[in-house]
Structure 1
């Protein structure tokens, strides 16, 4: 469906003989909705037409005629009012179609997100990246992109060496508990960091394990690594099932480690990298990006070399046009270094790499860190949210069967978690507060879900399908009209996300649509309204239900019919 702004721009362009793009850029929303839906200033035509803008506005108005809008002159402005009845029919017909808002972009993109490291906990920061990445992948796919979902986990390197060192020295033979496996894994890493802080000389032992891991020749060590690595993977997979998140490919650092060393040597041979005190580095000081270390002095590869090998794998094996990395803002410099090095290496796709960065989820006393143990474990946040949600659901529906309560608690709890991670400004940290994110009346996911459930309830009480042929839109109230215009925005929001590569606009749109609907619902009687009006309003309810459900699904969130 063509958006009303586009329809107005095309009509004005044809009737006035002015370029459509020029008209589109001139059209603006007036500061007061009483002035109309759009306004077009005529100042820019004064020089070429050698006339005053108010005169031009009068002449333009006389030439314009459309069934879809009317034009009024206000000094140098054309004020444009859409024909509400025609717009309502057009929007409500389109919004109730299965492919409303679906696009056809056609690019092949890899969205890499989540990236938890084995031998460490899945924390609330991972939840933010996972929620954003899952939503972005779904929205881009809906927009027509060929999306490859990728997870990249650090299953080797110094953090693993430290964990294995601590486990073999102080926790040998311990098995992860059936409940709280993630917290147990994290506790050993925290214990390792505590002991190393107290006795820095012990780091030499961890260094030896790291070197042995890199060589992969110590069978006993490698067997322990494989077993403990699987404990982490099992925990991650359980969390992804809970969050309704899936990946097309899951790459581990170990897979690119050997190639990482080769890449470093290739860059040395090409003069892109250089030796410095025994380490291999890329000097990016010309670009103001400092020095990027690829190999340590002992020859073991760092994240940097592995990410270069991973990028090569993405571009050559998976044939992607664009790579999106959903990773925390603290890695901003790192990704600038990565993309610049890729460009020097000769990958044209480097220009089309994008770092979707975000601030972290914080404790009241500061940033999370699994090094110090002051991190917010995902499972702790989840348990608190689910417990609070269960209280609310049981208070509202004491008569529901247990299975229905469990399903609803899960759907609403996951929604509260994920929506909060997606909707907030990516440049601001989230201070996670359970009661706030679970509020059925706040700027939250459960509020959007509750609005969707309310739409379903109204239609159940109506007891029939609303009929467009009987609907009367001739006297739309302001709240009805605002809801129509909000519904019309959905396709443009999908396009906005596909351009900005950030999913937050869709979450904010879902909130705006829910608010517009609730204003309409409180002001306009649906069931029992006069003939024709009942159908018109029921169509608004049905369209809102469908668009909210679609928006929630694209955000990776379920839309319960009852709450």
Structure 2
């Protein structure tokens, strides 16, 4: 389909240059807020008034006359038609463009002709034909996959699809922390709990995956609390952390044919072989359970990753990278640790190798950047995390810029807001945490309850699948309707409402349109046949079809601005207009076959656009509710 914003910009610039012999590019093209002002509007006359000695209204009038004589046209079935039926002027100097009925019909034909509206856009953007990496979700084995991970996953998957729509090759990666103090806290708590509960590893193996993960989550909460509150426990956990690096390295040697770069065993003064063996067993089991558990959630959320990276695999690389750059002056020794003096650059000073000679999160993230690029050479890389570590990433990226400026330029950190419930911010350290699957399952149960009340008839398997999809839509849409940096208070009841700006409302509108099409059957006339017929099209219908024709524009904008809420807002507008129209106008029972065919084609286009838009947001669609 023709991309009107670009065509308009070219035509307006050309006409202004013809009139005044001045090239002008710094003007906007927008959709007016009121239908009386047309479908597109430009402020070029007001911008141009600063360059020529005429008022904005005088310039606008001249432009309108010239634009009418040099219309933007489109070809269809070997005939040429005008895109706009009118070009008008409004104070204080806007030039407004109104779609022709022929263009409305053309939009229907192109939307219906597209298989699913999801072919990569032909409009060139900064991401077109580039390799773009998105790192997102990043849950930690041995800890619960919480609602914060749901937020990162929802944003990362939506951005991945939006950038793919622009013709980029997108690489999805997931970085998971399988070594570090959180693992030490978890395994320390696990050993304590197993001792108190008189449970062996064999006893835990027979539990369901959900039960095993719940046990691990509580073990982490115990370890984190005792680490903070008890000095002896804290010392034990710090010592345990050294063992974890040894057993993780051993696993990499055995499973991944890893060649060690650091002798972690030398960090332990008196090795307790029995403890080492116990940690080895618990570490392998807990890591395996966690990864299996995460995969069940990725499948439910509709996410698939191209590569997985683990802290155990980047720790040694990051450690060596820091060591190699002490001599360059990028890193400095301080109180037995190695630090990056961020205060030189208006940032925090942070430790990259601690006093126990182990790499910190900072060193690992530094090493990760190089490893990701080695495996998947990219043009752009985005790392999506909560914005509470924005300052942390500024330090890591600054250090990276001094080591490898080009890689740093390719890398962007996107910090999203926090997801909260009515009880406030969650904390996995206290155990007051909402697990991702727990939230999904609770919302699903609420959906099943609504289905029962409304007496909607499904097959048993279909009902379960539909409830899963609505639950995912409820949560994901609540996240994606907001600016990425905004905090979100998730209200399960409001998020399931079938009115208002919710995921289920979008799904319900699609199901309503699909039901109309199913009941009506085949259209009497095709869109091609309608082109040669004269019949009345209501203003509401023109408004709906015009909005449907803007799908590509909003999808591109959402990707280019890294703002999924731009697309979700557009889909909500489509639903509002269609539902308002549906409540007032007969579609399938219309007597005039031309009008009925037009309305059914329009309804079909609504389902296509909603399905395509929700796909780009990473949200499943349903045809029955």
TM-score normalised per structure 1 = 0.94
TM-aligned CA deviation for residue 439 of structure 1: 1.3
Residue 68 of structure 1 aligns with which residue?
A: 83
Does residue 108 in structure 1 map to residue 131 in structure 2? yes
Q: Quick one: distance in 2 between partners of 1:556 and 1:35?
A: 34
TM-aligned CA deviation for residue 242 of structure 1: 1.7
Q: Quick one: distance in 1 between partners of 2:146 and 2:50?
A: 61
Say which of 98, 119, 139 aligns to 2:115: 98
Q: In the TM superposition, what are the counterparts of 1:118-197 in structure 2 within 5 Å? A: 118-172=141-195, 173-174=200-201, 175=204, 177-178=207-208, 179-197=210-228
Q: Quick one: distance in 2 between partners of 1:268 and 1:214?
A: 23
Does residue 25 in structure 1 map to residue 86 in structure 2? no
Q: In the TM superposition, what are the counterparts of 1:549-560 in structure 2 within 5 Å? A: 549-560=611-622
Contact 1:9 1:20 in 2 (8 A): no
Residue 482 of structure 2 aligns with which residue?
A: 424
Q: In the TM superposition, what are the counterparts of 1:216-235 in structure 2 within 5 Å? A: 216=247, 218-235=276-293
Describe the SS at the equivalent of 2:424: coil
Residue 624 of structure 2 aligns with which residue?
A: 562
Deviations 1:138-175 (A, max 9, x none): 22222211111101100111111111122223414251
Say which of 535, 538, 543 aligns to 1:477: 538
Deviates more, 1:211-220 or 1:419-428: 211-220
TM-aligned CA deviation for residue 221 of structure 1: 2.2
Contact 1:279 1:293 in 2 (8 A): yes
TM-aligned CA deviation for residue 552 of structure 1: 1.4
Does residue 309 in structure 1 map to residue 367 in structure 2? yes
Deviations 1:272-321 (A, max 9, x none): 10101111111121221120210001101101001111000122221011
Deviations 1:196-221 (A, max 9, x none): 34422221111111112223454442
Residue correspondences, number: 563
Residue 467 of structure 1 aligns with which residue?
A: 526
Structure 2 gap ranges (5+): 72-81, 123-127, 248-264, 266-275
TM-aligned CA deviation for residue 223 of structure 1: 3.0
Describe the SS at the equivalent of 1:25: coil
Does residue 521 in structure 1 map to residue 582 in structure 2? yes
Say which of 322, 326, 330 aligns to 2:380: 322
Contact 2:27 2:47 in 1 (8 A): no
Describe the SS at the equivalent of 1:109: strand
Residue 267 of structure 1 aligns with which residue?
A: 325
Residue 544 of structure 1 aligns with which residue?
A: 606
Q: Quick one: distance in 2 between partners of 1:410 and 1:76?
A: 52
* CA separation of 1:378 and 1:27: change in aligned 2, threshold 3 A: closer
Q: Quick one: distance in 2 between partners of 1:78 and 1:431?
A: 40
Q: Quick one: distance in 1 between partners of 2:527 and 2:158?
A: 33
Describe the SS at the equivalent of 1:250: strand
TM-aligned CA deviation for residue 250 of structure 1: 0.9
CA RMSD for the aligned pairs? 2.3
Say which of 34, 37, 48 aligns to 2:36: 34
Q: Quick one: distance in 2 between partners of 1:47 and 1:289?
A: 42
Residue 237 of structure 2 aligns with which residue?
A: 206
Describe the SS at the equivalent of 1:350: helix
Say which of 56, 59, 76 aligns to 1:56: 59
Q: Quick one: distance in 1 between partners of 2:17 and 2:537?
A: 33
Contact 2:17 2:23 in 1 (8 A): no
TM-aligned CA deviation for residue 454 of structure 1: 1.1
Contact 1:363 1:432 in 2 (8 A): yes
Deviates more, 1:100-109 or 1:244-253: 100-109
TM-aligned CA deviation for residue 13 of structure 1: 3.6
Contact 2:116 2:612 in 1 (8 A): no
Q: Quick one: distance in 2 between partners of 1:251 and 1:26?
A: 43
Describe the SS at the equivalent of 1:268: coil
Deviates more, 1:7-16 or 1:277-286: 7-16
Q: Quick one: distance in 2 between partners of 1:128 and 1:61?
A: 47
Describe the SS at the equivalent of 1:80: strand
Q: Quick one: distance in 2 between partners of 1:478 and 1:59?
A: 28
Q: In the TM superposition, what are the counterparts of 1:349-498 in structure 2 within 5 Å? A: 349-465=407-523, 467-471=526-530, 475-498=536-559
- 4+ residue runs of structure 1 moved beyond 6 angstroms? none
Q: In the TM superposition, what are the counterparts of 1:262-301 in structure 2 within 5 Å? A: 262-301=320-359
